[in-house]
Structure 1
């Protein structure tokens, strides 16, 4: 199913526009970081449309500058609104004196880490534009009392996770009646069932007439119709890159490995290549701490990050990784959504995600902002259906190679293959099990010879 009209994709253009030519004011342009010289493709497409007041669905690869693509025009709209409120106005009968400071814009994101990151990026700009332009972070892991005390400063822009915002709204601490602009970052995740019930409740609390912006690197076809229903005011679909695509700056390497050999294969790779910074993804939360401990035992500076950890620990672990105090961060898909680490060289999938779009988000943590990166995936027989789905989504061949000194001795099960190819033994031969045990029992990276 495709998004119905009036969505459209503008014709591609290689023309490089400046931020001024996009319609941004001088104050915002001056506030931009020095490294942000020219707008990216998604910024060139989205900023003029947002400034024109249109609803927008923007699809663009990870690391392409989506936060500024919606953040810059939102800040400009808020600043202009504030200036209008502060301008001398003839008094109206019964009007209250003084300028009101309602919440004008809301940015919703799926994770606390992304909420912190977006808030930090926008606050850095807002502080240079106006001392009275305030941004408020609302997410779990921080005491509600502390957030409500800060909210008393009357922020014009709120960055929030749906759960915490809904709690505060249902307790009548916060009203969404004045929202004029709504942005969903990592929109595909927020439209899925895990978040959608809360999203529906929040949307019901907002004015029907508002500008709605959806930004994501991926959008499964089954969410097209739902996205279309949210965008009602001259909606425009912008595809800065091919849908669900992976940037060419990422080198993808996939290796066939026995399921039981993956941890030792990871240790061997980390020991041999000594990358300064590596993000390792694991789907199961329970395995994250165990793998991180195994890396530490092998002499690797590693940390673990998942949703069950205390927010203070999560924040400190991420800060340590960004500051290179931790070499390897083992994480669940909590880290796959929008988290930016400057010049992260390597991402390793210790397992493949069952959701193909998650693969795109995972490997998109590297090769950001024009840099190059390496994405390695260790794939066992049981993950072949997931690999097929990823190949189909990304339209990439993604061939499997052998990993030196880790021969595959496992036999594929019927459940790991397409039904037409399921004429295989359901159990491994005894010798295969023994070979797998030998691999598991190698507790040190020293058990593996380095490549020549």
Structure 2
């Protein structure tokens, strides 16, 4: 079904980029409900087209009834705020609607200037928006549309108190839209307090989504992961690889090792300021760096055009994060590969991922990397007597105490 079959004006449809020809399932389901002025609770996987699912009906309503500060879109991260704003601007620039991005790490005074112009749409992270509201930069009472995008992640990241403070400044009579990839019980309870008789929409996986991602899991020794990662990238001659890792320090350390091995590599994590983060991501998007090592800052919401490969250097402890990580590839109907390097110590994480995804995800051997590590049995590796000997050794304070006693 083309966009012309949806209740959108000819002006808005004409403003769509040529690449937007057929709406996704979530767009088909959500757009009519939003245009009908109903609150909406939408559950749809990452990469399913959620931004335009709420963006297009917001733009349609602005066209019909222009006013400043009409729509507020809250998102959990700076990167996602930038991406959402760019996606909206692809359309809004053609219909003379202004959208601004308000997030931390960027010049606050510049953002105040942009708000003073009176944009119709504000895309913001909660923290920076609260700062500006506290400084009376603009009147939140003008906002009649509120969108909570990636609501589950905002809950996970501890933003809900900020969100509640923001909502207290908004008019009670408003349309509220909540979009989320998952719907845990805690979020369900929050939704009941925020939404008024919402339309519940749950999109199926985009056609063949699981099938478009080729998942390969390899059992390797923990100490062999770096060499295995380098071998895979070089052997397959991949020119753009996103590697996920657990911590910031490990990301920087692995980045150094890959660069030393001759792979053009950059790292992205929360210790970098916003300017660095944007510059790093752009290097990767433009393939000026072939490998990007990232913490879960990027697991959701970031779109890298035609990203062919995602590698889990370490499995995440949260099974849902695995789904969001591999969802960076095979977006918009493309195909992709998701590789996971798994050691024995990650067996519990893998079991949780299998349970969540309902997929077998078999572990294979990786050519050239035989597994010599043994799974933990849970038993103490050292006999009790050895531990007692160690304690006696630690208590010795002089060289004489270590000398053997003379035989009698």
Q: TM-score, normalised by structure 1?
A: 0.81
Equivalent residue number for residue 173 of structure 2: 209
Task: State the match for 2:82 in structure 1.
Answer: 116
- Kindly state the Cα deviation for residue 334 of structure 1 after the two structures are TM-superposed: 1.0
C-alpha distance in 1 between matches for 2:138 and 2:363: 52
1:176 aligned residue: 140
SS of equivalent residue, structure 1 residue 247: helix
Separation of aligned partners in 2, 1:246 and 1:424: 38
- Greater alpha carbon shift after TM alignment, 210-219 vs 290-299: 210-219
Whole-angstrom distance in 1 between the partners of 2:380 and 2:59: 59
TM-superposed CA distance for 1:310, in Å, is 2.1
Select 1:105's aligned residue among 60, 64, 71: 71
Task: Quote the residue 1:75 is aligned against.
Answer: 59
Cα distance in 1 for residues equivalent to 2:172 and 2:343: 49
1:31 has 2:26 as partner: no
d(CA) in 2 for partners of 1:152, 1:173: 8
Structure 1 residue 216, shift from structure 2 partner: 2.4
Aligned residue in 1 for 2:302: 339
- Aligned mates of 1:160, 1:405 — CA distance in 2: 48
100, 104, 111: which one aligns with 1:136: 100
Matched position secondary structure for 1:279: strand
Superposed, 1:3-82 pairs within 5 Å as: 17-82=1-66
> Aligned runs of 1:75-94 on 2, under 5 Å?
75-82=59-66
Deviation at 1:59, TM superposition (A): 1.6
Q: Is 1:281 aligned with 2:244?
A: yes
Instruction: Evaluate the alpha carbon distance shift between residue 147 and residue 190 of structure 1 in structure 2; reply closer, same or farther with a 3 A threshold.
Output: same
Could you tell me which runs of 5 or more consecutive residues in structure 1 were left unpaired when the two chains were aligned: 1-16, 83-100, 414-422, 429-452
> What is the 5 A alignment of 1:381-400?
381-400=344-363
Other-structure match for 1:227? 191
Which sections of structure 2, spanning at least 5 residues, go unmatched? 383-408
Per-residue deviation, 1:424: 4.1
Contact between 1:61 and 1:247, CA under 8 Å: does it hold in 2? no
TM-score normalised over the length of structure 2? 0.90
Deviation at 1:193, TM superposition (A): 5.2
Equivalent-residue separation in structure 1 for 2:193 and 2:227 (angstroms): 48
SS at match of 1:393: helix
**1:307 positional shift:** 1.4
| Higher Cα Rg, which structure | 2
Post-superposition Cα deviations, 1:107-159, rounded to whole Å, max 9, x if no partner, equal 111111111111111112111012xx211110011111111011110111100
Q: After superposition, what is the alpha-carbon deviation per residue over 1:4-42, rounded to whole angstroms, capped at 9, x for unaligned?
A: xxxxxxxxxxxxx22122101111111111111111111
Distance 1:227 1:402, change over 3 A: farther
What is the aligned partner in structure 1 of residue 390 from structure 2? none
Instruction: Please say if 1:351 is aligned against 2:317.
Output: no
Residues 203-352 of structure 1 mapped to structure 2, 5 A cutoff? 203-232=167-196, 234-241=197-204, 247-352=210-315
Equivalent residue in structure 1 for 2:334, among 359, 371, 378: 371
Q: Is the 8 A contact 2:46 2:300 kept in 1?
A: no
Whole-angstrom CA distance in 2 between matches of 1:407 and 1:223 = 44
Q: 1:242 to 1:325 in 2, by over 3 A?
A: closer
1:169 and 1:228 mapped to 2: Cα distance?
Answer: 26
Do residues 163 (structure 1) and 97 (structure 2) align?
no
Q: In the alignment, does 2:88 pair up with 1:127?
A: no
Give the direction of change, closer, same or farther, for the CA distance of 1:246–1:390 in structure 2 (3 Å limit). Answer: farther
Take 1:221 and 1:394, find their aligned partners in 2: how far apart are those partners? Answer: 18
Higher helix share: 2
Q: 1:155 to 1:363 in 2, by over 3 A?
A: same
Contact 1:18 1:39 in 2 (8 A): yes
Give the conservation status (yes or no) of the 8 Å contact 1:246–1:360. Answer: no
**Partner of residue 375 from structure 2, selected from 412, 419, 443:** 412
Equivalent residues of 2:100, 2:119 under 8 A apart: yes
Q: How big is the alpha-carbon RMSD for the aligned residues of Structure 1 and Structure 2? A: 1.9
Deviations 1:51-82 (A, max 9, x none): 11111121222211111111111111112111
Secondary structure, in 3 states, of the residue corresponding to 1:191? helix
Counterparts of 1:143 and 1:263 in 2: how far apart (Å)?
Answer: 38
CA distance in 1, matches of 2:346, 2:183: 22
Q: CA deviation at 1:377?
A: 0.8
Shift of 1:426: 4.3
Q: Which residue is equivalent to 1:98?
A: none
Supply the distance in 2 between the matched residues of 1:426 and 1:152 (Cα, whole angstroms): 65
The equivalent residue for 1:147 is 111
Counterpart CA distance in 1 for 2:191 and 2:357 is 21
Q: Tell me the number of residue pairs that the alignment of Structure 1 and Structure 2 aligns.
A: 382
Is contact 1:412-1:425 (8 Å) kept?
no
